[in-house]
Amino acid sequence: MKIPKVSLIILNWNNWKDTIECLESLYQINIDKHDIIILDCGSKDGSIKKIKEYCSGELEVFSPYLKYKSDNKPISLFVYDEQKSDHLSVVDKYLSCNKKKLFLISLKKNYGFTGGNNIGMSFAETYFKPDYLFLLNNDTVMIDNIIDEMLHLCEKNNKIGLCGPEIRLYGNPKEIQFKLRYQGINSPTEVPWISGCAFLIKSELIKKIGFLDPIFFIYYEETDYILRAKKANYKIYYIPTKSKLYHKFAATNKKIKGFTQYHMTKSYIIFIKKHSSSKDFHFKLSQFIRKEIKKNLGRINLYFVIKGILIGYFLSLFRSSILN
């Protein structure tokens, strides 16, 4: 039986400490048959230098969930610079390497969660030819191989297009992230939604519906993709894996004032415009505006919410005018 090949796509933006902790957890489990692709999104904190030091064994990782191993270093690192490199030469060297290895794509700027993942997926589809792509947040730690657990189910059901594992909170490992959504689910189950934090996508689905919609910089891109997958008659599964995945939850975004409020609001406006009738859109929009203004009145967040509403509204109208 052919072992399915997976390309893991991990974005890093000014957060090398979380990224190398994530990498250390991956290299301590048996995923050598898969490709790990890091995309550095124009970081200014020396992330690429730190990732190089980690791969060479010069930089240790400290984590409450794993003990650093020096005997799996060095890791062969292949860097493709978006602005400089001959990518075919780098890819050929990477593919001919039979040791532990990492492919790093250095981007000139931050294209957002959607843009960065789309670049990574397109690159993987073109050069690595995976059967699946696994979008994984860099602020996660994987204990044991959840990927093989998910593949086992997906390979048995060709109608599964997307699936996600059980995710636990890094700071409270007994608590399941989004626990109210998955309460009482103890076996693989078809669900209406899974988190984009750990998002396994069947490559054949990408060939049918394309990549993530680039109008979403971050947030709601996975919800939009799930709806598109369902329209293409694919199923979405949640898998309570025996292996564990711990998530710090928005570790990078919390560092930037107003980031979450602005982008969450903007993306929600774009999302409801895309997936609602004109009448429903304006009803949902008015309800949302009233609720958010009441909730944030007198708080600094109100500025970012209003900005998100305005930019989201005009972007959604602009998108509609182009499509129509």
Taking only the tens place, the pLDDT of each residue in 139-169 is: 999 999 999 999 999 999 999 999 999 999 9
Q: Is the dihedral of CA 12, 17, 18, 19 positive or negative?
A: positive
Largest CA distance in the chain: 61
Across the chain, mean pLDDT equals 93
* 8-state DSSP, 254: G
Residue 208: pLDDT above 60?
Answer: yes
Residue 214: the pLDDT is 95
List 162's β-bridge partners, or say none.
201, 236
pLDDT at 321 over 60: no
By three-state DSSP, how is residue 282 classified?
Answer: helix
Question: What pLDDT was estimated at residue 323?
Answer: 47
The stretch 66-88 carries a mean pLDDT of: 90
- Partners of 81 in beta bridges: 106
First to last CA, the chain: 47
Provide the pLDDT for residue 45.
96
Q: Domain ranges in the chain? A: 6-253, 256-323
Multiple choice CATH, 6-253, 3.90.550.10, 3.40.50.300, 3.30.1330.10, 3.40.50.1860: 3.90.550.10
Mean pLDDT, residues 194-199: 96
Quick one: what percent of the chain has pLDDT higher than 70? 96
Find all residues with CB under 8 Å of 39, minimum gap 6, and list them: 9, 10, 11, 12, 104, 105, 107, 116, 117, 119, 120
